[in-house]
Chains A and B, each alone.
Chain A
Amino acid sequence: GQQVMQIPQYQHVQEGEDFTTYCNSSTTLSNIQWYKQRPGGHPVFLIQLVKSGEVKKQKRLTFQFGEAKKNSSLHITATQTTDVGTYFCAGFGNEKLTFGTGTRLTIIP
């Protein structure tokens, strides 16, 4: 079946440093979604990427979808304490949305 892996599982960064999480699918995806879950909270939708090679930006967040539509990345520039949480990718393929394992980001003030 479809599997979506994310690395790293955990990331600790100093406030102001950049952060990147990577998502890889075992199958080609129709699209990929990204969610953020704050500690003790629930996942909240951030963005969806559909096209091969697509790049989207939301302020300090940059999302990329690979050319082969099997991988994606989320990059945060100059992290802030409000960025703490777990970031999940979710790949849509074979009529099914499969969530990645998530990357938990902690910020050292």
Chain B
Amino acid sequence: DGGITQSPKYLFRKEGQNVTLSCEQNLNHDAMYWYRQDPGQGLRLIYYSQIVNDFQKGDIAEGYSVSREKKESFPLTVTSAQKNPTAFYLCASSPGTGDYEQYFGPGTRLTVT
């Protein structure tokens, strides 16, 4: 069953702690993305990666970090430097970074208190 998996679905952390969100895809897609979604707002791009061992900052990269050591995996770390980390985080992939449709994972809802 091909697709994108994100885990966990819900995540709770104390303020000041770093937390890593996982994203795995078995679609053999080259490009992967991380988005943040807040109530009443659209999807804002955090980071994206076009190929293994390469990634670029999106519109709101401050306070986040990523790695792309394997084609199928693109974990996102929310660091303590992110001032307002509570949000719904969505991972997506596409065959390339051109005008391809994006396939989204189920998302991780992170709550930091």
Q: How large is the interface on B (under 10, 10 to 19, 20 to 34, 35 or more residues)?
A: 10 to 19
Q: Knowing A31-B99, A92-B99 touch, does A44 contact B40 (C-beta < 8 A)?
A: no
* B85-113 residues at the A interface, CB under 8 angstroms: 90, 92, 97-99, 101-107
Whether a CB of chain A sits under 8 angstroms from the CB of B53 is: no
B41 near A43 with CB under 8 A, answer: no
- Cβ < 8 Å to B, chain A residues 2-30: 4, 6, 9, 30
CB neighbours of A4 from chain B (8 A):
42
Structural contact, B41 and A101, CB atoms closer than 8 A: yes
Q: Which residues of B contact A88 (CB under 8 A)?
A: 42-43
| Residues in B whose Cβ lies below 8 Å from that of A90 | 102
Contacts of B44 in A (CB 8 A): 99
Assembly CA distance A50 to B97 (angstroms): 16
A97 contacts partner chain B, Cβ-Cβ < 8 Å: yes
Q: A42-B106, A43-B90 are in contact. Are A48 and B101 (CB under 8 A)?
A: yes
Taking residues whose C-beta sits less than 8 angstroms from the other chain, chain A's interface range is 20 to 34
A90 CA / B92 CA spacing, docked (Å)? 14
Chain B residues closer than 8 Å to A85, beta-carbon distance: none
| Docked CA distance A27–B45 (Å) | 18
Chain B: minimal CB distance from A90 (Å): 8
A35-66 contact mask (Cβ, 8 Å, vs B): 1 or 0 = 00000011111001010000000000000000
Asked if A99 meets B43 with Cβ closer than 8 Å, knowing A42-B90, A42-B106, A43-B90, the reply is yes
Write out the residue numbers on chain B whose beta carbons fall within 8 Å of the beta carbon of A6.
Answer: 42
A42 touches B105 (CB 8 A): yes
Q: Which of A1, A30, A45 has the most CB of B within 10 A?
A: A45
What would be 14 A-B contacts, judged by CB atoms less than 8 Å apart?
A: A6-B42, A30-B99, A31-B99, A33-B102, A41-B106, A42-B104, A43-B92, A48-B99, A92-B98, A97-B102, A99-B35, A100-B42, A102-B41, A102-B42
